[in-house]
Amino acid sequence: MVKDDNASCPSRRGFMSFLATIALAPRVLAHGRLPVTSPLPTEGVFSIGDLQLESGTVLRQAFVGYKTHGRLNADRTNGILYPTQFGAQHSDIEWVIGPGRALDSDRYFIIAVDQLGNGISSSPSNTPAPQDRARFPTITIRDDVAAQYRLVTDGFGLPSLALVTGYSMGAQQAFQWAVSHPDLVKRIAPRSRGSMPGGVFRRPSTSRSCTGPLDQKTRTMS
């Protein structure tokens, strides 16, 4: 007789039920222009549709997660894009955002955007077959920026970005923004501890419990 460990451990059984609920829950995707009138932090998932990747593969029905802080000004020019780094989600990077902080939400409209493959944006764990799990396509930094460009222009309708900033792999995305869209980005502020090997992994992430094991393992440098 095979013993069912889940049956003998209520806490584990409850946790597994929770994961199943998360996996099967319908994802609410926003299409078209996103609301930008509220100064309160707003989370969402923006539907991109089919995304042509640098590899030549098409990521079907792609989407990106985000959270906004602050309010857009009248000419929509105070936007800051803040991409997550490898292994992080937007909740992990919010500590620099707020009134009077480095990313001042009283002055700027800040978009913390989830990198592809981080468990919120399109990832191995939340993409349906035939591109799920190990079959999820390889993603590059240019692909991240292409998805974010759709969010910024199609989703929020911004004509420019006052700043793109990020840490570690978020910094790589900031550099790529300046290369791919120099007319749209006014300035970049990449941040990294590249001189300290492994330093980026010293502070463990706090929101990984529902991220699939393959998420962000298909990342490549471009």
Stretch 72-90: mean pLDDT = 96
Flag the least confident range among 84-98, 127-141, 203-217: 203-217
For residue 218, tell me if it sits in a domain: no
In whole angstroms, give the CA distance from residue 149 to residue 22.
28
For residue 15, tell me if it sits in a domain: no
For residue 219, tell me if it sits in a domain: no
Q: What is the mean pLDDT of the chain?
A: 81
pLDDT one-digit tens code per residue, 145-155: 999 999 999 99
In whole angstroms, give the CA distance from residue 55 to residue 146.
13
Does the bond joining 130 to the residue before it have cis omega, within 30 degrees of 0? yes
Question: Which has the closest alpha carbon to 185: 176, 172, 193?
Answer: 176
- For residue 160, the domain's CATH number is 3.40.50.1820
User: What is the pLDDT at residue 106?
Assistant: 95
Flag the least confident range among 18-22, 41-45, 217-221: 18-22
For residue 185, tell me if it sits in a domain: yes
- What is the tally of structural domains in the chain? 1
Q: Which helix (H) or strand (E) holds 95?
A: none
pTM: 0.76
User: What is the pLDDT at residue 8?
Assistant: 45
The pair of structure tokens assigned to 63 is: 């989407």
For residue 71, tell me if it sits in a domain: yes
User: What is the pLDDT at residue 194?
Assistant: 54
User: What is the pLDDT at residue 41?
Assistant: 86
pLDDT category of residue 204 using cuts at 50, 70 and 90: very low
Residue 73 belongs to what domain range?
34-201
pLDDT > 90 fraction of the chain, expressed in percent and rounded: 68
